[in-house]
Chains A and B, each alone.
Chain A
């Protein structure tokens, strides 16, 4: 096997990549889905109370509220406008701090405080806003709270929605680029007959498969890494995430070579993808709905690179924490190698023979009939 020829084939495929709609599709789709999930569902699952304040006397309460991370605070000038925005559900609550409010509190008076609460706001949001406001006023008063509150979390903390969806997006990125691009590229060579032109040069079928596989690994790793980056999780545990995506890319590229070697044409490839894709994608279900028992997910090969990604983004897992899953993912890649070689070799024979039969059949259909010899 020649490294130089493999590199030549790879460079050609990389050069053809930007001219192929499939490559662009495979790279763009995960980005679009990420943006869609963040744009549509991000706000729904990531609620922050929205408090509007009209500060008529330079109150410390307003300054302290602005410094809070847990509440989104907006300062307004007009009490009527504040009320309108609360009514319109643009704000969950509105607070009007009258002139001399801080001084009155410090003097032990009990000044009136107007707090509007939106009718459409969640009850939990209202409670949070009221308690926080009271806490801020106590700060102005200079008194400590009458009790110390110990917060005890009961039950498991829910996993943020975007982190639950991440394995799905990573699978799409790695599988689309890793499986579809090598498979489609191989089938395109078969359909156009260019693979025959390659195989009458010193090029061997193993070099063609290696180049297509590398193409899949490079593009799948790139797509997976971009997906992690735009989901802002790459910094959590970069070593685990990059190793996982790389192993996933190798695994998917081999699946792509198997599919491309086996499928006779593009239609067959897409039909197989629709059915066989379930095997690759079903472990994702167990990350999206973590309450389901996870053992069935372990029968899916993609589980072994998705689980480390999930652990890394959720709990900043290190390589030492997820080594077993990564080892199994690596073992699956090694196990797929001989299958890829065997199926690739069978493809070479099939393609040559099928082409020859088709040519002969076409020629026989056009052949002249027997005629009497003059």
Chain B
């Protein structure tokens, strides 16, 4: 079975302003691919191209073996898209929203109560959405994305601005969907989310993919390991950050320990943000 999604050299510009520049990658079934980049990096535009909302100026997109945008209708029946903006019908109840979209997919036997329970809205399904909080609307949108048990999930900043409980619920759902076999493309500018959820992370900035690898490999290959040591010197407390890679760090650490004044020692790994800064020359936020 081939990859769920293949993008080859796709590009897009808004009246001459390049938003996506020669982006290529693939996504396997059951894999979570995190698109990590700052605001305006081109993550959302890439999702719009992959889901048929925009047509690429160049390159080729294949989703589930079908050509996008030529077979857009067939593809859209098998994918789920969660938007960054909360585009649900505020005058309908949560349940009515889901029932409506289920019928658009031609589905009449979806267990809406079960779906609402999965996103923690079982008690509020019969309330109108205009009474929902931002987090509840986001969870409803995720539930909507799952209606057709999609083979490929596109999630654009699914936890942006959410409270920790709502964010954790959504992350658990994303992982569960990948375990079910769905391919998940996730955009985020939250390095912890990308680190926790993603099997692979793509750094995207100024429309280009700068790196694409599992998060651990990115951190190992491009980050710097170090030890933070706090030492008492007379009345003062000093802090030393010693690199574990390269010369000198180990010897200096040994000297500090032997001096007998060490208060604390912490190892420090590189974060994805550190690696991103190394690639892009700017941070994620």
Contacts and interface: CB of A to CB of B under 8 A. Distances in A.
B54 A357 contact: no
Interface of A: 4-5, 8-9, 12, 15-16, 19-20, 192-194, 196-204, 352-353, 356-357, 359-360, 362-374
A187 to B, nearest CB: 14
A16 B282 contact: no
B103 interface: yes
Nearest to A364: B40
B100 A356 contact: no
B38 A15 contact: no
Contacts of A8: 100, 103-104
Contacts of B89: 12, 16, 192, 194
Interface in B85-99: 85, 87-92, 96
B18 to A, nearest CB: 11
Contacts of B87: 192-194, 196-197
A352 B48 contact: yes
A371 B83 CA distance: 30
B104 A363 contact: no
A356 B39 contact: no
Most-contacted residue by chain A among B40, B45, B281 (CB, 10 A): B40
Contacts of B76: 200-202
Q: State the 9 A-B residue pairs at the shortest beta-carbon distance, nearest first.
A: A193-B87, A363-B39, A364-B40, A363-B40, A367-B40, A200-B81, A8-B103, A366-B39, A367-B39
Contacts of B84: 359
Contact of B44 (A9, A20, A200, A363): A363
B39 A200 contact: no
B96 A202 contact: no
A229 B278 CA distance: 76
B53 A359 contact: no
**Interface size range of chain B in the complex:** 35 or more
B90 A368 contact: no
Contacts, number: 111
A196 B53 contact: yes
A196 B83 contact: yes
Interface string B45-78: 1001001111000000000000000000100110
Contacts of A371: 277, 281-283
Contacts of A201: 76-77, 101, 104-105
A373 B281 contact: yes
A352 B88 contact: no
Contacts of A196: 53, 83, 87
B121 interface: no
Nearest to B101: A201
Interface of B: 14, 19, 38-41, 44-45, 48, 51-54, 73, 76-77, 79, 81, 83-85, 87-92, 96, 100-101, 103-106, 144, 277-278, 281-285
A370 B281 contact: yes
30 contacts: A5-B104, A8-B103, A20-B91, A193-B83, A197-B83, A197-B101, A199-B53, A200-B51, A200-B52, A200-B53, A200-B81, A201-B76, A201-B77, A202-B104, A202-B106, A352-B54, A353-B54, A356-B54, A360-B19, A360-B40, A363-B40, A363-B44, A364-B40, A365-B39, A368-B39, A368-B282, A368-B285, A370-B282, A371-B282, A374-B277
Contact of A356 (B14, B38, B91, B106): B14
A371 B91 CA distance: 45
Contacts of A5: 103-104, 106
A373 B79 CA distance: 39
Contacts of A15: 92, 96
Contacts of B100: 8, 12
Contacts of B106: 4-5, 202
Nearest to A5: B104
A356 B44 contact: yes
Contacts of B77: 201-202
A5 B104 CA distance: 6
Contacts of A362: 39
B85 A193 contact: yes
A203 to B, nearest CB: 5
A240 to B, nearest CB: 38
B83 A367 contact: no
